[in-house]
Amino acid sequence: MQNHQIDNLDKKILSSLIEDARIPYAELGKRFKVSPATIHVRIEKLRAAGIITGTSLAVEPKKLGYDVCCYIGITLKSAGAYPEVIEHLKQIEEVVEAHYTTGKFSIFIKIRCHSIDDLQWVLIGKIQSNQQIQATETLISLQNPIQRNIQL
């Protein structure tokens, strides 16, 4: 993986887009004293370099009824089971993140569910039912006081 060199204008553009991905190129151009075309070219170069990988919409899960957020550490029976287990986890809609990790767990996932009963079903019926998973450890998030993007 290659790190790309970005200059101050690129950093300013990225910071603005992280804050509000819908900001018009003309507004960015005015803000940074360059043309909207320059902004367009810079953003396309950042996309081509893989620095910008898309745009997304932020939603508040609790407002949609997803009251339970938890993290599950997964221990695999063998390291070779990783690809199969990841494919299995991709099919579980409640899994919103997965990380291949060092330390106690092979995989660490984030789950969003409507209730503790739903969490129990996901854990027993969907995750622990995979024969390549040796053990799991669940940590329930009580609140999320810090949530932010990287700062440039």
In tens digits, what is the pLDDT along the chain, a chain of 152 residues?
567 789 999 999 999 999 899 999 999 999 999 999 999 999 999 999 999 998 888 889 999 999 999 999 999 999 999 999 999 999 999 999 999 999 999 999 999 999 999 999 999 999 999 999 999 999 999 999 998 888 88
The pLDDT of residue 2 is 63
* Distance from C-alpha of 24 to C-alpha of 21, rounded to nearest angstrom: 9
* Distance from C-alpha of 19 to C-alpha of 79, rounded to nearest angstrom: 39
Q: Which residues pair with 110 in a beta bridge?
A: 71, 97
| Helix (H), strand (E) at residue 107 | strand 107-113
* Distance from C-alpha of 103 to C-alpha of 46, rounded to nearest angstrom: 34
Query: Residue 85 in contact with residue 107, Cβ under 8 Å?
Result: yes
Q: Which residues pair with 138 in a beta bridge?
A: 72
Instruction: For residue 12, give both structure tokens.
Output: 């300013």
Domains annotated on the chain, with CATH: 8-48 (1.10.10.10), 61-141 (3.30.70.920)
Instruction: For residue 127, give both structure tokens.
Output: 């995750």
Half-sphere exposure of 100 (CA within 13 A, CB side): 9
| Helix (H), strand (E) at residue 113 | strand 107-113
